[in-house]
């Protein structure tokens, strides 16, 4: 019996302890980018979500603790109905199947984004949890290094001797400083179109367990410069201004100007997208998940587009455009 089969053998007992003598069905649905996997459970004409989060690989305490923190601050997240932390099994309220990503083609898109941006103050003011990791200089730097290690050195297999190591280290320090200089608030940290769900009672968030105290622009960047879709330029500009106004009205920006906000927004976005591009490669190489390869080029182009606007990052824009992106395109052509 494989480890996956062994874990699946735990499901029946766990679900019977909740549903008792009622009949139920359990069907696998798409897993996320972590070690978690999900099943939709049907019983008494009601649907539920079974989250399998192997405790040998993941700490489930943040998921449970932050669930209460977000709920208490008016953020809709799936209710935890039953949990066995020793086995890593959690039964959740089923929020449905409609994510923001499923609605971006609708005429309501701008309204949808405005409604979601209105959630930012509630997220930002959610109480800090002892389970939140310290989003400090060391951790921010390690996230940026995911790009260097997994995309540049492991996947593209470029020689370290030929790489612009000094320039990369200098830029990394620049980004770290820009992130730490911002007002620090609670951030979801993965606030994008696949983690925001449309329900009958409003917008809900999933995959919130990695929330931390970090830069005030982070969640707005995650939403408006989404790795999985790109907003039209005018719409993006209007929504970025909207995010500034919402956060400013909530007294979360410490009086910064819109120009300063846009600068922090750009720096935070470059840090996030460097990390994300590296994670997409790590998912392939370490976890054998190839589904995110198509998202690498759009993510790198976000970085290039921003980097070319700042003198300190001109080298990065040039390096990505002439060296990294062409090599990635070759690698991707070999994977099709």
Alpha helix segments (H runs only) across 129-232: 137-146, 165-180, 218-224
Q: Which residues belong to CATH 3.90.1200.10 in the chain? A: 100-334
Fold of 3-93: Phosphorylase Kinase; domain 1 (3.30.200)
| N-terminal to C-terminal alpha carbon distance within the chain | 32
Ramachandran bin of 245, using left for φ above 0, alpha for ψ from -120 to 50, beta for the remaining angles: alpha
Is-contact 213 182, C-beta < 8 A? no
pTM: predicted TM-score of the whole model, two decimal places: 0.93
Quick one: which of 13, 15, 38 has its CA closest to 27? 38
Q: Which residues belong to CATH 3.30.200.20 in the chain? A: 3-93
> Looking at the domain covering 100-334, what would its CATH class be?
alpha beta
Is-contact 234 301, C-beta < 8 A? no
Taking the mean position of all CA atoms in its chain, how far away is CA 42? 28
Q: Digits of tens for pLDDT over the chain (336 positions)?
A: 455 656 777 898 999 999 998 999 999 886 555 678 899 999 998 999 999 998 888 889 999 999 999 999 999 999 999 999 999 999 999 999 999 999 999 999 999 999 999 999 999 999 999 999 999 999 999 999 999 999 999 999 998 888 999 999 999 999 999 999 999 999 999 999 999 999 999 999 999 999 999 999 999 999 999 999 999 999 999 999 999 999 999 999 999 999 999 999 999 999 999 999 999 999 999 989 999 999 999 999 999 999 999 999 999 999 999 999 999 999 999 876
Task: Look at residue 5 in the predicted model and tell me its pLDDT.
Answer: 59
Decide the pairing of beta strands 46-52 and 37-43. antiparallel
Q: How many CB atoms lie within 10 A of CB 322?
A: 10
């Amino acid at each position: 019996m494989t480890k996956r089969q062994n874990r699946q053998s735990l499901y029946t007992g766990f679900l019977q302890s909740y549903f008792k003598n009622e009949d139920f069905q359990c069907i696998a649905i798409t897993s996320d980018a972590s070690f978690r996997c999900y099943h939709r459970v049907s019983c008494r004409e009601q649907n539920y979500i079974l989250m399998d989060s192997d405790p040998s690989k993941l700490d489930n305490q943040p998921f449970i603790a932050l669930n209460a923190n977000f709920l208490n601050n008016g953020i809709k997240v799936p209710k935890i109905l039953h949990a066995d932390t020793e086995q890593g099994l959690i039964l959740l309220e089923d929020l449905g199947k409609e994510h923001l990503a499923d609605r971006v083609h609708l005429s309501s898109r701008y309204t949808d984004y405005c409604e979601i941006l209105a959630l930012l103050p509630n997220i930002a003011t959610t109480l800090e949890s002892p389970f939140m990791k310290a989003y400090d200089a060391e951790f921010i730097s390690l996230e940026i290094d995911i790009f260097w290690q997994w995309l540049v050195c492991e996947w593209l297999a470029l020689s370290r001797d030929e790489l612009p190591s000094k320039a990369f280290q200098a830029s990394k320090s620049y980004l770290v400083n820009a992130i730490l200089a911002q007002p620090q608030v609670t951030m979801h940290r993965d606030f994008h179109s696949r983690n925001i769900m449309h329900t009958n009672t409003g917008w809900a968030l999933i995959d919130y367990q990695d929330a931390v105290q970090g830069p005030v622009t982070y969640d707005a960047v995650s939403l408006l410069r989404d790795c999985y879709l790109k907003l039209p330029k005018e719409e993006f500009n209007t929504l970025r201004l909207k995010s500034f106004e919402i956060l400013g009205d909530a007294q979360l920006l410490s009086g910064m100007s819109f120009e300063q906000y846009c600068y922090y927004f750009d720096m935070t976005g470059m840090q996030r997208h460097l990390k994300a591009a590296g994670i997409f490669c790590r998912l392939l190489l370490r976890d054998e998940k190839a589904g995110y390869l198509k998202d690498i080029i759009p993510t790198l182009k976000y970085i290039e587009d921003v980097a070319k606007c700042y003198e300190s990052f001109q080298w990065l824009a040039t390096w990505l455009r002439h060296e990294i992106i062409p090599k990635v395109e070759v690698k991707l052509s070999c994977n099709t």
